[in-house]
Amino acid sequence: MVKCKSCGRETQVVSNFCPHCGGKVRLKARIKKWDPTPRKAAYLARKLASLDLQTRGITKEKDIEMQMLQLLKDYEGFRHRWGGKRDVRSVEVLGFKHGPDAEIRGMALEVKYAKRPGDLQRAIGQGLLYQTQYPFAILFIVDGTPGRKIKSSVGTKNAKRLVQRLREMGLYLIVK
């Protein structure tokens, strides 16, 4: 609702003119520069997927987190939990608090070093929980399974179907 300067009545704005007196009304609703939308979330997921992350020789999730921190520290709207910081909003679901590793422009980012299939399942579950507070979640998985099983199976029919369904729910899966 916006107050018309000419007649002083409150009106719901659908155009630049007051429906009562025809006076000019200033539209207040402005879209934030980076209001999360599916298109912007997909764009950010593609940018993250193209990051030059060194995955060889990594044995711990901490190594990946520190690399991500260095690569993303200058991003606008980047906040993280790494190194003891608590800048990211927590999500309370069923009596427990959960928080993503980082937040970029209002979207949750979860980074996982997957040594076994359960790590991938856990990341997907965490992404679903984050969606109670965040419109989109980006799941960044570094495959540490023997023979890089997760990465090698990304092109299969079932994996493509899973990625598509996750994307429809607002979860973007990146496997490195």
**Is the predicted pLDDT of residue 176 greater than 70, yes or no?**
yes
- Kindly report the number of other CB atoms within 10 A of residue 54's CB atom: 10
Q: What residues pair up with 78 in beta bridges, in sequence order?
A: 104
Cα separation values, 137 from 20, 41, 60, 63, 174, Å: 44, 8, 22, 21, 11
**Is the predicted pLDDT of residue 132 greater than 80, yes or no?**
yes
* Strand ranges of the sheet holding 137-143, from the earlier edge strand across to the other edge: 78-80, 102-104, 107-114, 137-143, 171-175
Query: Is residue 172 a contact partner of residue 135, using CB atoms and an 8 Å limit?
Result: no
Burial class (CB in 10 A: 0-12, 13-18, 19+), 163: middle
**Is the predicted pLDDT of residue 32 greater than 60, yes or no?**
no
The percentage of the chain sitting over the pLDDT mark of 70, rounded to a whole number, equals 81
- Span 40-60, average pLDDT: 77
* Greatest pairwise CA separation for the chain in angstroms: 72
Is the model more confident about 147 or about 73? 147
Q: What is the DSSP letter of 33?
A: T
**Is the predicted pLDDT of residue 128 greater than 80, yes or no?**
yes
**Is the predicted pLDDT of residue 11 greater than 50, yes or no?**
yes
Confidence grade of residue 124 (pLDDT, cut at 50, 70, 90): very high
Of the candidates 54, 67, 167, 176, the residue with the CA atom closest to the CA atom of residue 120: 176
CA dist 112 and 110 (Å) reads 7
**Is the predicted pLDDT of residue 172 greater than 50, yes or no?**
yes
Q: Measure CA of the first residue to CA of the last residue in the chain; give whole Å.
A: 48
Angle CA 68–70–72, to nearest 5:
65
Q: What residues pair up with 110 in beta bridges, in sequence order?
A: 139
* Mean of the per-residue pLDDT values of the chain: 80
Is the model more confident about 39 or about 82? 39
- Span 139-152, average pLDDT: 86
- Span 32-38, average pLDDT: 63
- Span 115-133, average pLDDT: 89
**Is the predicted pLDDT of residue 157 greater than 90, yes or no?**
yes
Is the model more confident about 36 or about 33? 36
